[in-house]
């Protein structure tokens, strides 16, 4: 008996030592008092299949932070820390807690919706201001006064797409191919269907798939073709869309394709024949080929730093950092203020008519007290290998 206890104790203690190590590792980066730094943090998928979005946010945010810090070396500086969450709620909460251990004051995240909803619960309890660049679910802000979105909500994208299609293509026979295992895709489809039903327009065919890694869309495309759809709505990310375009071309099926912001980036996809994307419509708040000066500067800085064109996520993050920075300055608080104080002041700002003109909207963005953003997206069509605004 005695020996058993000893063994148990030895094991428990060695176990605890590892715990302690972990705890020490977590608490390593405590804040340096005295410096005039506002600590912003973000969690996003830096590894795994969604890593492209997390890394875009990380890089886009970094551009904004570098600009801010270079512009006023004596004023408020911004620190930018992004932790990996693998687009998973559990990991995101861990990553968020790590940021809290490191003294984060403003949370600019999370990148993906599922992860963001889980984290938003925590920021709400901890009283940390949260502005997400790209988590588009309604549930992200629901019931949480401290959480705001910079992107459109998924169903709103569907609604706006439906409005646009009904208005501009009144005679179209509309079909939909969407990923029913993706919250993004399913969310847009929900909004789309609702709006189409409300407008009394029939969707002639709906086909679903369950994995963005899916490469065979013959069945779905055949179903579209057989239903006589001449207009196919694709509320998906660009990987499945590129496969759909390739296979539709092979089948000789050429309806008008219409995508959402997830399709942005398709022109830079490696190994994809961009000529197949000719004539594809997409509804997106941002595109790197926009002509205005702000966008051009951002794209140039991003190209210089990371060697690739920024996508919408990068622009969202850029806007988020600036919006938070501007709002913080308007609150008049010192950077030594606690996260909770900053939170209350920022919430008052965002809910109280604060506006920001950024890359990802045609107008100045404003926020509702519920956390939703008011901004106008633009519809583009791919012509000659470029996005051309409609």
Partner 1 sequence: MAERILKNIRIGGLKNAVKGNDYRKEATISYGILIGGYILLQILTAAGLIGHNLQGQFVPICVYISLAVSLNLVVGISGELSLGHAGFMAVGAFSGILMSRILLQSMSFEPAILIISMLFGALMASIAGFIIGIPILGLRGDYLAIVTLAFGEIIRNFMNVLYFGFVDGKLRFAFNHTIEGIEDTDRIITGAIGATGTKTMASFTWGLLLCLFTVFIVLNLKNSKQGRAIMSIRDNRIAGESIGLDVRKYKLMAFVVSAALAGMAGCLFGLNYSTLVPIKFNFNTSVLVLVFVVLGGVGNMWGGIIAATLLTILPETFRQFADYRMLTYAIVLILVMIGTYNPAIKSRVNALFSKIKPKKKKDDGKVKKKKSGKEGA
Among 38, 42, 46, 342, binds partner 1 (CB under 8 A): 46
Among 72, 181, 362, 376, binds partner 1 (CB under 8 A): 181
Q: How far is CA 163 from the centre of its chain?
A: 23
Q: What is the DSSP code (8-state) at residue 294?
A: H
Please choose, out of 46-54, 228-236, 321-329, 334-342, the segment that lies near partner 1 by the rule CB under 8 A.
46-54
Please choose, out of 161-169, 183-191, 245-253, 354-362, the segment that lies near partner 1 by the rule CB under 8 A.
183-191
Binding flag, residue 27, partner 1 (CB under 8 A): yes
Binding flag, residue 146, partner 1 (CB under 8 A): no
Binding flag, residue 118, partner 1 (CB under 8 A): yes
3-class SS at 210?
A: coil
Nearer to partner 1, 104 or 245 (CB): 104
**Min CB(93)–partner 1 separation in Å:** 5
Decide: 83 and 99 in contact? Cβ < 8 Å: yes
Closest by CA position to 129, among listed 103, 152, 108, 99? 108
Please choose, out of 177-185, 228-236, 302-310, 351-359, the segment that lies near partner 1 by the rule CB under 8 A.
177-185
Among 105, 134, 137, 157, binds partner 1 (CB under 8 A): 137
Among 35, 72, 75, 143, binds partner 1 (CB under 8 A): 143
3-class SS at 40?
A: strand
What span, in angstroms and rounded, lies between the C-alpha atoms of 60 and 57?
Answer: 5
Binding flag, residue 213, partner 1 (CB under 8 A): no
Given phi > 0 = left and psi -120 to 50 = alpha, else beta, which region is 136?
A: alpha
Binding flag, residue 61, partner 1 (CB under 8 A): no
What span, in angstroms and rounded, lies between the C-alpha atoms of 249 and 259?
Answer: 17
Binding flag, residue 98, partner 1 (CB under 8 A): yes
Closest by CA position to 42, among listed 86, 99, 94? 99
Nearer to partner 1, 18 or 71 (CB): 18
What span, in angstroms and rounded, lies between the C-alpha atoms of 141 and 370?
Answer: 7
Binding flag, residue 101, partner 1 (CB under 8 A): yes
Nearer to partner 1, 182 or 349 (CB): 182
**Min CB(13)–partner 1 separation in Å:** 8
Decide: 322 and 109 in contact? Cβ < 8 Å: no
Among 31, 69, 77, 97, binds partner 1 (CB under 8 A): 97
Strands 203-209 and 129-132 come out as unpaired
Binding flag, residue 186, partner 1 (CB under 8 A): yes
Residue 147: CA count within 13 A, CB half-sphere: 27
Q: In Å, what is the CA distance from 171 to each residue of 136, 175, 240, 260?
A: 30, 13, 27, 21
Binding flag, residue 262, partner 1 (CB under 8 A): no
Binding flag, residue 347, partner 1 (CB under 8 A): no
Cα 266–272–293 angle (5° rounding)?
35
What span, in angstroms and rounded, lies between the C-alpha atoms of 128 and 343?
Answer: 5
How many amino acids of this chain bind partner 1 (CB under 8 A)? 64
**Min CB(125)–partner 1 separation in Å:** 9
Among 35, 36, 142, 383, binds partner 1 (CB under 8 A): 142
Nearer to partner 1, 117 or 205 (CB): 117
**Min CB(202)–partner 1 separation in Å:** 15
Decide: 44 and 112 in contact? Cβ < 8 Å: yes
Nearer to partner 1, 98 or 375 (CB): 98
3-class SS at 178?
A: strand
Binding flag, residue 18, partner 1 (CB under 8 A): yes
H helices present in the chain, as ranges = 2-26, 51-71, 89-101, 113-126, 154-168, 183-199, 218-226, 238-251, 293-306, 312-331, 339-351
Closest by CA position to 316, among listed 52, 132, 105? 132
Structure tokens at 62: 């970094």
Among 76, 145, 194, 326, binds partner 1 (CB under 8 A): 194
Binding residues (CB under 8 A) for partner 1: these are 1, 3-5, 7-9, 11-12, 15-16, 18-23, 25-28, 46-48, 83-84, 86, 88-91, 93-98, 100-101, 113-114, 117-118, 120-122, 137-139, 142-143, 179-183, 185-187, 190, 193-194, 208, 210
């Amino acid at each position: 008996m005695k020996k058993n206890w000893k063994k148990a104790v030895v094991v428990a203690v060695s176990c605890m030592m590892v715990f302690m190590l972990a705890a020490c590792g977590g608490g390593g980066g405590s804040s340096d008092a005295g410096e005039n730094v506002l600590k912003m943090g973000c969690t996003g998928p830096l590894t795994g299949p969604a890593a492209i979005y997390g890394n875009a946010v990380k890089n886009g945010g970094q551009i904004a932070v570098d600009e801010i810090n270079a512009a006023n070396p004596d004023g408020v500086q911004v620190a930018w820390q992004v932790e990996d969450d693998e687009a998973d709620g559990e990991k995101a909460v861990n990553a968020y807690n790590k940021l809290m251990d490191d003294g984060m004051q403003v949370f600019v995240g999370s990148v993906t919706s599922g992860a963001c909803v889980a984290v938003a619960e925590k920021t709400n309890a901890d009283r940390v201001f949260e502005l997400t660049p790209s988590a588009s679910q309604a549930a992200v802000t629901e019931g949480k006064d401290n959480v705001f979105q910079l992107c459109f909500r998924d169903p709103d994208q569907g609604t706006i797409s439906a409005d646009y299609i009904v208005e501009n293509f009144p005679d179209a026979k509309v079909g939909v191919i969407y990923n029913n295992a993706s919250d993004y895709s399913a969310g847009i489809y929900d909004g789309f269907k609702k709006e189409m039903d409300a407008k009394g327009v029939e969707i002639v065919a709906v086909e679903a798939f369950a994995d963005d890694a899916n490469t065979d869309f013959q069945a779905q495309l055949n179903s579209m073709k057989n239903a006589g759809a001449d207009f196919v709505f694709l509320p998906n990310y660009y990987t499945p869309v590129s496969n759909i375009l390739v296979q539709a071309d092979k089948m000789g099926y050429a309806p008008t394709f219409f995508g959402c912001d997830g399709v942005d980036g398709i022109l830079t996809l490696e190994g994809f024949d961009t000529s197949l994307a000719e004539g594809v419509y997409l509804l997106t708040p941002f595109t790197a080929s926009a002509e205005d000066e702000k966008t051009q500067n951002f794209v140039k800085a991003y190209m210089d730093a990371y060697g690739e064109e920024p996508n919408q996520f990068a622009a969202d993050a850029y806007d988020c950092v600036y919006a938070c920075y501007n709002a913080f300055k308007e609150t008049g608080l010192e950077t030594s203020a606690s996260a909770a104080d900053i939170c209350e002041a920022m919430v008052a700002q965002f809910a109280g008519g604060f506006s920001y003109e950024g890359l990802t909207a045609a107008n100045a963005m404003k926020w509702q007290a519920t956390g939703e953003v008011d901004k106008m997206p633009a519809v583009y069509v791919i012509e000659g290998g470029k996005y051309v605004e409609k």
